[in-house]
Structure 1
Amino acid sequence: MGYRWISDEIGVRPLQYEFDPPRLDYGLYNLFLQDDITLNDRWSLVLGAKLEHNDFSGFEFQPSARLLWHPAPRQTLWFALSRASRTPNRSETGLRAGVSVVPAAPPLVPLPVLARGVGGTVFDSERLTAYEMGYRRRFGSRLSLDVALFYNDYSGLRSLGSGRFNDEHVPEYLIYETFFGNAGEGSGYGAELAADWRPTPRWRMQFAWSWLRTRLSLSNPDADAYATGSGGASPRHQLSLRSSHDLSDAMELDLWLRYVGEVPNSDTTIPAYWNLDARLGWRLAPGVSLSLIGQNLLDSAHPEYTDELNTVIATEVPRTLWLKARWDF
């Protein structure tokens, strides 16, 4: 059980963004229940539910069920069905963000036009129903393997509705407003593979691979393709290989190699990339440690994200090298 209360006040930047209202108090409370049921020596059932209330979309009920079968002592086959919600945020219900400006072109366009995205008070939660199954196998005490398949059904995804003109700033300029809605829908399916191997008591290696395919569409033909642009912007393939090695009682070396596939977007495609993080640590004394850390070592910089509304300037993640000292007392 939990409760969170938020009070914020956000300033105004004319022609860029403003919130309506600029000051808002809102709360969130939730309750989570779960029960593990042993059916017999080989079958077990896990039932759970999360009940949540927020001031934007009201009550959200998110149940889940997981059935597990143990055909042998080191093997598990499981099936799961769950429902989840992504509740609206402050921007989706009250933001007015300037996206672009179209210069005047008389006589067809007599005034400059500010294109603006507007949060809607009727914006509802995005909903997901997930179907999953997986298999886990342990090969002794040093190696385990996990395989999972999933299918996700999405509804009420964020979209932009048909626009309208606003003349509140005439004769300086016109405003063309489009409103957030829930016209997006679709599905996603994929597979995941993970392995955990301990070659020696001091060395652990973890491998993970995932494959994802999404198909999104719009239930309202008058809506814009913002839902398909944002929801579909996910890499099809991702790889991860981590190595954690205690070189001695006082020294450790961690390496993390990863691959992220190409991310398609409505305007800009983020290219695929490989990257490597490394950490060399020393335990100088009980509670005292020193670490040399390098991140994104394979490239000087690379992009990872673009904003569909173009309200955030696109930046790249740079290569970094830093020294960290820690003292626990």
Structure 2
Amino acid sequence: MSFPWSEASATGVGSYPGTDAAGTVGNVFGELPLPHLPELPGRGPGADMVGRGAAFLVELPVHLQPSGWRFADRPGVDMRRAHDYLKRDLDLLEERDPEGPVKLQVCGPWTLAASIELPAGERVLRDAGAVRDLVDSLADGVREHVAEVRRRLPRAEILLQVDEPSLPAVLAARIPTASGFRTLRSVAAPVVQEGLRKVLAAADAFPIVHCCARDVPFKVLLGAGARGLSVEPSAIPVKGDEVIGEAIEDGVAFFFGVIPGVDAPLPDPGRSVQPVRELWRRLGIRPDSLARQVVVTPACGLAGASPRYARQALEHCVNAARSLSENPE
């Protein structure tokens, strides 16, 4: 199996605390074997996951309302700020001119559809036609974004992580209506899969899907073409885990979140990845593939953590990944 990263790699999920973009980029590229573009939602609207995701939409302007992001006739000041944040962040990456793998993150189509409102105030998810427009627009925007990053970072190999925290709720009809008294109708798995596939395939980059929910729809993600799954080990089902075993044997990588995304006591790094070793053992997979096929991460973004914990978390993940290489069994 061949992957863009080296053995014993670790990375972050996406977000970090604070507003110091230059300092955070320095920490990420200085500490992590697999660096990525940091996200700093603490800077305010437009730096949050949905706001940055909306900035990738092509010819679908949004502006910020008290209830959240909403489609509009023209982009609002917060959307212009989102584009400015993204440009400045890419400038920082270009200054470093990294060689090797670099991971980018974008908010997925189904999380955007469950978060952005139509002009009348209901979620985009309610309107199938609007959802199709959003998926197509996001695919175009992701294609343009990755192409720009490739122009700026000619020595880098790009990995694309699509964040879908709301996808299980979309499938299970758990997204509330604007009134909050009902929930929106579920979307069929084949429709969800095809929408996600369009975005994953748009950029011709190594495709990863991150989902921090417990009920991860593994078949949908794999069917959409994900070659990497960013989940917690506890999300892997004990019963019916044949899908995971087959995915591992087919060369799907796992970005396992092994420590909390908020301040918490950190155990010995080797203990943090013990559930990963146990999973490989349970599935009967040779342990010598662990250090290549598994990338160690926090369980979710670190925006809610203290800056001190965020730095410790990166170091911990690096050491935990190294322990998988040194002691896979």
Query: Shorter-chain TM-score category?
Result: under 0.3
Higher share of residues assigned strand: 1
Higher share of residues assigned helix: 2
Q: Which has the larger radius of gyration?
A: 1
User: When the two structures are superposed, what TM-score results if normalisation uses the length of structure 2?
Assistant: 0.27
Greater length-normalized contact order (CA 8 Å, ≥ 6 residues apart): 2
User: When the two structures are superposed, what TM-score results if normalisation uses the length of structure 1?
Assistant: 0.27
